[in-house]
């Protein structure tokens, strides 16, 4: 006879499933030398992950945040800039990616390689998630809960380099996994006292 396992509630999966959270567009940026790009606030969630080198994420009212290879961050509904040097004046990055068919931009070389993903929601209550989350959620590769993120980023990097058939759907699935792992790592690092209702999802009594 088979033994039944105890059902463990999974409120994070419930929330993301109800809201229909999916990574609907991925972009890739390669750059060398001096460069800086700015992007306006949009009603969406975005992740930025660094596969090679380092860069800076800048937002108004926050100190510039360095990102090394293996780091990832989630950006909410706020303006931001990404650059090789936070003292540079950024150019409008929308012009480089405004064509939906253009998902790869190279600025000089490949000293820095990063990927970005736009997270959209099909559910009618997406504002609930966006309003409750901080505008900026950084997860560094050496912090607690980030081991799986390093694995996913490695797989995404390999998939980009392979360029074989089926790559689009594989990268889309990996991006969805990266989104969930970033949420997990954030909740583990911050704890319920620092990340409000989101951290409370991890509490077996509250979640």
- Could you tell me the residue ranges of all domains in the chain? 11-202
Describe the crossing of helices 192-200 and 167-190 by its angle, rounded to 10 degrees.
130
Mean pLDDT of the region 130-140: 81
CATH no. of 11-202 = 2.60.120.10
57-89 per-position pLDDT tens digit: 999 999 999 999 999 998 988 999 999 999 999
pLDDT tens-place string over residues 73-130 = 989 889 999 999 999 999 999 989 888 778 889 999 999 999 988 887 776 666 766 7
Q: What share of the chain in percent tops pLDDT 70? A: 81
Q: Which one has a higher pLDDT value, 117 or 9? A: 117
Tokens of 152: 């996913």
pLDDT at 131 over 70: yes
Q: Which residue has the higher pLDDT, 181 or 69?
A: 69
For the chain, strand residue ranges (E) read 22-31, 36-39, 45-52, 54-58, 65-68, 72-75, 80-83, 91-92, 104-107, 112-120, 136-139
A 10 A CB-CB count for 99 gives 8
φ/ψ of 193, rounded to 5, equals -70, -30
**Torsion angle, CA of 55/58/147/132, rounded to 10 degrees?**
-160
Which residues, listed in sequence order, are joined to residue 74 by a DSSP beta bridge? 47, 137
> Is 6 a residue whose pLDDT tops 70?
no
Please report the sign of the dihedral spanned by the C-alpha atoms of residue 171, residue 177, residue 180, residue 181.
negative
12-42 pLDDT tens trace: 777 677 667 777 788 899 999 999 999 998 8
């Amino acid at each position: 006879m088979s033994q039944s396992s105890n059902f463990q509630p999974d409120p994070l999966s419930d929330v993301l499933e109800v809201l229909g959270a999916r990574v609907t567009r991925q972009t890739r940026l390669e750059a060398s030398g001096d460069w800086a790009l700015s992007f306006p606030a949009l009603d969406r969630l975005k992740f930025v992950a660094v596969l090679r080198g380092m860069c800076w994420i800048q937002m108004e009212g926050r100190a510039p945040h360095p990102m090394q290879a293996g780091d990832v961050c989630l950006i909410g509904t706020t303006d931001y800039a990404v650059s090789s040097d936070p003292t540079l004046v950024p150019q409008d990055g929308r012009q480089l990616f405004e064509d939906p068919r253009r998902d790869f931009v190279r600025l000089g070389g490949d000293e820095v390689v990063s990927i970005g993903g736009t997270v959209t929601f099909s559910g009618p209550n997406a504002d609930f998630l966006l309003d409750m989350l901080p505008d900026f959620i950084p997860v560094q590769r050496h912090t607690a809960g980030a081991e799986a993120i390093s694995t996913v980023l490695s797989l995404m990097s390999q998939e980009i380099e392979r360029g074989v058939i089926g790559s689009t759907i594989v990268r889309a699935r990996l991006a969805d996994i990266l989104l969930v792992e970033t949420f997990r790592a954030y909740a583990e690092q911050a704890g319920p006292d620092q990340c409000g209702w989101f951290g409370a999802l991890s509490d077996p009594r509250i979640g």
